[in-house]
Chain A
Amino acid sequence: MRSHRFAWAIIGILAVAGSACSSSSTSTTGSKSPVVVGISLSLTGDFSDSGKTEQQGYQLWQSVQNAKGGMLGRQIQLKIVDDASSPDTAVSNYQNLITRDKVDLVFGPFSTLLTAPSALVAARYGYAFPDPADGAPKTLNEHLQNFFLMQPAGPLDTGLTWTRYILSLPADQRPKSVAYISLDDPFLVPAVALDRTAFTAAGIKNVYDNIYPTENVQMTPLVAAIAAAQPDMVVAGTMEADSFDMVKAMVTEKFNPKYLFFMNGASDSANFPTNVGKQNIEGIFSALGWYPEEKTPGNAEFVAEYIKKYGGDASQISADTAEAYTIGQVITEVVEKVGAIDNAKIIQQLHSSYWPSIQGSLAWDADGKPVGTLLLVEWIGGKLEVVYPATDATHAPVVPKPNWP
């Protein structure tokens, strides 16, 4: 009797865990057979935060497009399976989606670790592989014709908008010294290296340069070491949690560089202010490919439908959600132009011209790397404003950075 109770208790625990690990297949209605889109997403594990926000983007596109009649008059059905943030599981998922489930289209997962091997599987079977969030050298060096990063610029270009802005300043207004600090990450390290090359060539003195591990990071000693170098500018190759903890450590250390740029994390309008404190965000720069007020095709509809479906306000929409939605938006346009679900023709069309999207017009080189640039944004008056390039700017840059409160 006792062993039965024990067994039921274990089953109960696994059921709770399993509820967060489930796969889903969103059903559709209609007389024609639906267009089935197979997606492996990290709904559990290390990348589950981004995986779930991407899931929102995919599902929002599905509901918006189905309300308009679907794709080629057929309703869209998503078959989303959880890869638990594991590359092996993601590969296995795409293999099953293509060969067993015979889905019509596949869309990409989150993270370089999962995308590179998954894109190879899709290439083997001739499927187009539009991806919301990758583009590190590991994937691009595969030279896959079927891979397309659905962002305005590649991740290695994250810091280029910052270098262009700094180098656009008159020489006497530029920072004189710089500290580089980066997470040990396959695209952040080379992205910071591009900034270093540009700033070194411009004569900005390098006073600190280091890389930190992905786990168990103690930001206070790290920031103390940066502060000791007394740089005018900090270029930080960050993701999310590390950028939050770095800002808090900078406030604690009372270290206030005149120019502070985070590659990621600070552009997360939903989570950045709540994690670092709204009083600590002023004057911090970051880069992004999309923002809610952007005047791009379909963006107003995307924002309105997002709020209708998920609640909250526009500032809470993650860029990951917009990137996933972009894939659906672009592929719908391509399929309607091709007039059939034909992956070979879809690949050919994507390579042939610019495609309008909520992130602006997108185009790719032969390896699937986007050919555009990101926007430089800054926290001004508690709001994320576009400050560079001037043609897209919603506010003039505020420099030097104000002191911590």
Chain B
Amino acid sequence: MHLLIYGCILGILLGGVYGLMASGLALVWGIMRVLNIAQAVCVILGSYLAFTAFTVLHVDPMLAVLPISVVMFVFGVGIYYAFLRPIRRDRESLSILVTYAIAIGIEGALGLIYTTSLQHTGTSYATQSFEVGGFQIPTVELYAFLISVAILGLLALMLQRTRLGRALRAATQNPTAARLLGVDIDRVSAVGFGIGISTAAAAGAVYGMIYSFNPNSHYDLIGILLAIVVLGGFGSMRGAIVAALILGVIASVVFIYWPLWANLSFFGVVVVVLLFRPQGLWGVPNWATQ
């Protein structure tokens, strides 16, 4: 029972970070109907930026999260105007190819700059832990979880309380009606994509303290992020966060008892849920949007 509870705690901590990564993916799909395959490589890009900030500028990755988020927001807006805005037709399918090309391009650039050697942002607290009720709580994973919760909280506040947030939500729920009501969909899409990329990079800054990474690490990550978004319901940020927590707990618990089956259980849960709710936990069924 002790290990089972511990697995749940670790799963929630890690699920929070995955939730931050996947929330941007869900937001971008909701607003633009763009499946951003480059979301995972932007996580790794964020890990490299934090690694550079730490090793070259001696800035703690936790403090680097804010400037990295800002820089990556601008980067995301730039990607939108350069590569996604020109897609006028078949956006859902063409965007997969375009964002895959972007992912490969970023991977290639990271390989040239940093080489393909594994890196790790080795802060003084990267391997520290403290005991609570007989459980060793990894300090860095707790910090990562708290930062993820803080960013997601700010994002939720922005979506609920600001004019931009209302525009983003309107664009997510019904882009045509939003446009008729005067929402500048182009601008909102650019901002939404920028936010999506910046959340990925923010999560990447803390991811690099937990795991060793290299430019190829995004291939493993994108499968997890897509599974989370599918389970949560495409376009639903709330669904993505809940799905990340659920899958994080399941994977952690299975890793304790049957590690070889952990990934299968992770994707197995997605398949089983989709059998009963094809639209995912918080998704809107197709008939409701037609």
Residues of A within 8 A of B (CB): 2-3, 5-6, 9-10, 12-14, 16-21, 44-46, 48-49, 52, 184, 210-213, 215-218, 220-222, 224-225, 228, 240-241, 244-245, 248, 251-254, 270-271, 274-277, 280, 404
Whether B138 is near chain A, meaning CB under 8 Å from some CB there, is yes
User: Among the listed B10, B136, B211, B266, which residue makes an inter-chain contact with A245, where contact means beta carbons less than 8 Å apart?
Assistant: B211
Whether the pair A212, B259 counts as a contact (CB closer than 8 A) is: yes
Whether the pair A52, B116 counts as a contact (CB closer than 8 A) is: yes
**Given that A10-B98, A215-B263 are known contacts, is A275 also in contact with B120, CB under 8 Å in the complex?**
yes
User: Among the listed B83, B224, B259, which residue makes an inter-chain contact with A210, where contact means beta carbons less than 8 Å apart?
Assistant: B259
Residues of A within 8 A of B101 (CB): 10, 13-14, 17
- Closest Cβ of chain A to B192, distance in Å, is 20
Whether the pair B129, A252 counts as a contact (CB closer than 8 A) is: yes
- Complex Cα distance, B289 from A279, in Å, reads 57
- Complex Cα distance, B119 from A217, in Å, reads 17
Whether the pair A220, B126 counts as a contact (CB closer than 8 A) is: no
- Closest Cβ of chain A to B145, distance in Å, is 13
User: Among the listed A10, A20, A215, A280, which residue makes an inter-chain contact with B108, where contact means beta carbons less than 8 Å apart?
Assistant: A20
Whether B257 is near chain A, meaning CB under 8 Å from some CB there, is yes
- Complex Cα distance, B83 from A14, in Å, reads 13
Whether B54 is near chain A, meaning CB under 8 Å from some CB there, is no
- Complex Cα distance, B264 from A211, in Å, reads 14
Whether the pair A254, B255 counts as a contact (CB closer than 8 A) is: no
Q: What number of B residues sit within 8 Å (CB to CB) of A?
A: 53
Residues of B within 8 A of A46 (CB): 216, 219
Whether the pair A251, B127 counts as a contact (CB closer than 8 A) is: yes
User: Among the listed B117, B127, B252, B263, which residue makes an inter-chain contact with A49, where contact means beta carbons less than 8 Å apart?
Assistant: B117
- Complex Cα distance, B126 from A221, in Å, reads 16
Residues of B within 8 A of A (CB): 2-3, 6-7, 10-11, 14, 82-83, 86, 98, 101-102, 104-105, 107-109, 111-112, 115-120, 122, 126-129, 136, 138, 141, 211-212, 214, 216, 219-220, 223-224, 251-253, 255-257, 259-260, 262-263, 266
Whether the pair B122, A271 counts as a contact (CB closer than 8 A) is: no
**Given that A210-B260, A252-B128, A275-B212 are known contacts, is A13 also in contact with B104, CB under 8 Å in the complex?**
yes
User: Among the listed B3, B107, B251, B257, which residue makes an inter-chain contact with A218, where contact means beta carbons less than 8 Å apart?
Assistant: B251
Whether the pair B255, A218 counts as a contact (CB closer than 8 A) is: yes
Residues of A within 8 A of B259 (CB): 210-213, 217, 222, 225
User: Among the listed B10, B127, B214, which residue makes an inter-chain contact with A280, where contact means beta carbons less than 8 Å apart?
Assistant: B127
- Complex Cα distance, B122 from A271, in Å, reads 13
**Given that A215-B263, A244-B120 are known contacts, is A220 also in contact with B141, CB under 8 Å in the complex?**
yes
Q: Smallest CB-CB separation from B102: which chain A residue?
A: A13
- Closest Cβ of chain A to B34, distance in Å, is 15
Whether the pair B86, A3 counts as a contact (CB closer than 8 A) is: yes
Whether the pair B220, A216 counts as a contact (CB closer than 8 A) is: yes
Whether the pair B127, A248 counts as a contact (CB closer than 8 A) is: yes
- Complex Cα distance, B263 from A17, in Å, reads 29
Residues of A within 8 A of B212 (CB): 241, 244-245, 275
**Given that A244-B120, A245-B212, A251-B127 are known contacts, is A17 also in contact with B107, CB under 8 Å in the complex?**
yes
- Complex Cα distance, B256 from A284, in Å, reads 24
- Complex Cα distance, B238 from A352, in Å, reads 68
Whether the pair A213, B10 counts as a contact (CB closer than 8 A) is: no
Residues of B within 8 A of A210 (CB): 259-260
**Given that A48-B216, A49-B214 are known contacts, is A222 also in contact with B83, CB under 8 Å in the complex?**
no
**Given that A6-B86, A216-B251, A280-B127 are known contacts, is A14 also in contact with B256, CB under 8 Å in the complex?**
no
Residues of A within 8 A of B211 (CB): 241, 245
- Closest Cβ of chain B to A358, distance in Å, is 22
Whether the pair B83, A10 counts as a contact (CB closer than 8 A) is: yes
User: Among the listed A20, A213, A276, which residue makes an inter-chain contact with B112, where contact means beta carbons less than 8 Å apart?
Assistant: A20
- Complex Cα distance, B10 from A222, in Å, reads 11
Residues of B within 8 A of A2 (CB): 86
Q: Smallest CB-CB separation from B221: which chain A residue?
A: A216
Whether the pair B3, A212 counts as a contact (CB closer than 8 A) is: no
Residues of A within 8 A of B128 (CB): 252
**Given that A14-B104, A212-B259, A221-B255 are known contacts, is A240 also in contact with B118, CB under 8 Å in the complex?**
yes
A-B pairs, 4 with minimum CB distance: A13-B105, A17-B108, A251-B127, A212-B259
Whether the pair B129, A16 counts as a contact (CB closer than 8 A) is: no
Residues of B within 8 A of A404 (CB): 127
Q: Beyond the given A222-B255, A280-B127, please list 7 additional residue pairs across the A-B interface where CB-CB is below 8 A.
A: A184-B260, A212-B259, A225-B255, A244-B118, A252-B138, A274-B119, A277-B126
Q: Smallest CB-CB separation from B131: which chain A residue?
A: A254
**Given that A49-B116, A212-B255, A248-B126 are known contacts, is A218 also in contact with B260, CB under 8 Å in the complex?**
no
- Closest Cβ of chain B to A130, distance in Å, is 24
Whether the pair B118, A271 counts as a contact (CB closer than 8 A) is: yes
Whether the pair B10, A212 counts as a contact (CB closer than 8 A) is: no
Residues of B within 8 A of A5 (CB): 86
- Closest Cβ of chain B to A237, distance in Å, is 13
Whether the pair A48, B105 counts as a contact (CB closer than 8 A) is: no
Residues of B within 8 A of A253 (CB): 129, 136
